[in-house]
Structure 1
Amino acid sequence: MATHTLQDKVVLVAGGAKNLGGLVSRQAAEAGADVAIHYNSEETRPAAEETLTAVEAAGRKGVLLTGDLTVPETVERLFADAEAALGPVDVAVNTVGRVLRKPIVDTTEEEYDAMFDINAKSAYFFLKEAGKHVADNGKVITIVTSLLAAFTDGYSTYAGGKSPVEHFTRAAAKEFAERGISVTAIAPGPMDTPFFYGQETPERVEFHKSQAMGNQLTQIEDIAPIARFLATDGWWITGQTILANGGYTTR
């Protein structure tokens, strides 16, 4: 059985500056990879620079790349620039997403369009460019949400926007299989990050905690090792959505 490692590989992390993406970037470097760190806006640049410093402190090369990934041309440039800086991409991880909790009757067309652009369209074109650029026997990983398996209110455009990514993942897994590329989606439970708290009341936070082991939210430290596993010895898993949520929900 082949052993897959990240030693001397190139890992591209979309949304790789902070929170889960930042931890994935750092752990990839610690495992021996060079890392292309994408960030979306100037507001996030300081966090991206901190992550780059951590990558370099691990003895690996890194590069910062920026841009709005809802624009397909920007996604094309992202992969091209990562290749130019570090070489062919072996692992592409997409952590990009936006959360909105709002009743359907109050949701505007602009909010709907923005949520589907960020959560579905950007993921689709990330997969497209990964299929063109990721090296043979590479790995492609997308972060979705355990809300895809939940039955709740308020998250129609978030869960709805992430839902197509399951189908994109399945199709890509079949289409890229002849090149030995595995394609997977990780679906965390509600994560203990700023993205979550801005949408919820304290009472709902406590309810979400009560649904998982240990009465706690999902931590980024719970999810990053799964991405690392899928990028290495877990390569045989493909076309799957992995619900990683401490028992929050299943299907």
Structure 2
Amino acid sequence: MTHPTTSTSSTTAAAGQAGVAIITGASRGIGADIARRLAHDGYAVVVNYASRSTDADALVASLAADGHRAIAVKADVAQSADVQRLFDEAESQLGKVDVLVNNAGILTTMPLAQTSDELYESTFGVNVRGTFNTLREAGKRLNDGGRIVNFSSTTLALNLPGYAIYNGTKAAVEAFTRVFAKELRGRQIRVNVVAPGPVATDLFLNGKTEEQVQQFAKMPPLERLGQTDDIAKVVAFLVSQESGWVNGQVLRANGGLA
């Protein structure tokens, strides 16, 4: 299911546009701010979502109102057929893809010994298989000179109880990134990871008491939670020419937490 903007422009990057960017899990939170920032930087953006069509449509409408080109595409990144369709829709409506931002992810904290098969499968399904599916498709279809930004997490460096399964998924993403950057030799495609610290999003805040939130906020030397635009700025850097010599790296955007 695709929802285009009402923008009258039909040209692609050749007419001065920065390119076409797919942002997965972009209907809200960090993903939505990344979509806004890349649109501001001149990209036509694909706002991918799995279930929150109202939020995705509202974001696309606001981008269109500001003169940007954007479409919303429903696709479950854990399903390879959905990911193929995601790229199909991007190419047919906006042009070949230049940037992939793998922001989609799920997090439920639970001691490993209490983790159900279903929670394990769903977490690895979205966070690992979803990244695998989009990387595989990008390897076939991304423009030469493209950029890929995957998402890990600073929790991987903290070894906090309850995060074993989630951390396992992010360790896999970091491993994918380092190898995939080398496998794309000769195509000038850069593949990097951003690993945020605690960011004030629903994903982070849900299930935490105010005391727990404040405890996390005090952990970094900068003594605050990250904001969604903090991460969007890092992603914008990693897809820009300013980071042209950065490849296969993990950038830990966490206020000095780890």
The alignment's TM-score, normalised by the length of structure 1, stands at 0.92
Compute the displacement of 1:202 (Å): 2.9
Compute the displacement of 1:181 (Å): 0.2
**Alignment of structure 1 residues 65-76 onto 2, 5 Å:** 65-76=73-84
Alpha-carbon distance in structure 1 between the residues aligned to 2:17 and 2:156: 34
Alpha-carbon distance in structure 2 between the residues aligned to 1:151 and 1:122: 23
Q: Name the stretch that deviates more: 177-186 or 203-212.
A: 203-212
- For residue 127 of structure 1, what is the amino acid of its counterpart? L
Alpha-carbon distance in structure 2 between the residues aligned to 1:45 and 1:216: 31
Change over 3 Å in CA distance of 1:46–1:20 after alignment to 2: same
Structure 2 residue aligned with 1:124: 132
Query: 2:246 is matched with which residue: 237, 247, 250?
Result: 237
Structure 2 residue aligned with 1:145: 153
Structure 2 residue aligned with 1:177: 185
Structure 1 residue aligned with 2:46: 36
Match of 1:46, SS?
helix
| 1:86 and 2:94 are equivalent in the alignment | yes
Compute the displacement of 1:209 (Å): 1.1
Compute the displacement of 1:199 (Å): 3.7
Compute the displacement of 1:208 (Å): 1.2
Compute the displacement of 1:31 (Å): 1.1
8 Å CA contact 1:101–1:199 kept in 2: the answer is no
Structure 2 residue aligned with 1:9: 19
- For residue 196 of structure 2, what is the amino acid of its counterpart? P
- In the alignment, structure 1 segments of 5+ residues that lack a partner are 1-5
| 1:248 and 2:252 are equivalent in the alignment | no
Compute the displacement of 1:63 (Å): 1.1
Q: Kindly tell me the number of residue pairs found equivalent between the two proteins.
A: 242
Runs of 4+ in 1 over 3 A off after TM superposition: none
Alpha-carbon distance in structure 1 between the residues aligned to 2:175 and 2:151: 13
Query: 1:193 is matched with which residue: 181, 185, 201?
Result: 201
8 Å CA contact 2:194–2:253 kept in 1: the answer is yes
**Alignment of structure 1 residues 51-66 onto 2, 5 Å:** 51-66=59-74
* Identity of matched residues, %: 34
Match of 2:185, SS?
helix
- For residue 37 of structure 1, what is the amino acid of its counterpart? V
| Cα-to-partner distance string for 1:110-141 (whole Å, 9 max, x where unaligned) | 11111111111111111111111110101001
- For residue 215 of structure 2, what is the amino acid of its counterpart? F
Structure 2 residue aligned with 1:213: 221
Structure 1 residue aligned with 2:141: 133
Structure 1 residue aligned with 2:30: 20
Match of 2:243, SS?
coil
Alpha-carbon distance in structure 2 between the residues aligned to 1:63 and 1:126: 18
Compute the displacement of 1:105 (Å): 1.8
Structure 1 residue aligned with 2:7: none
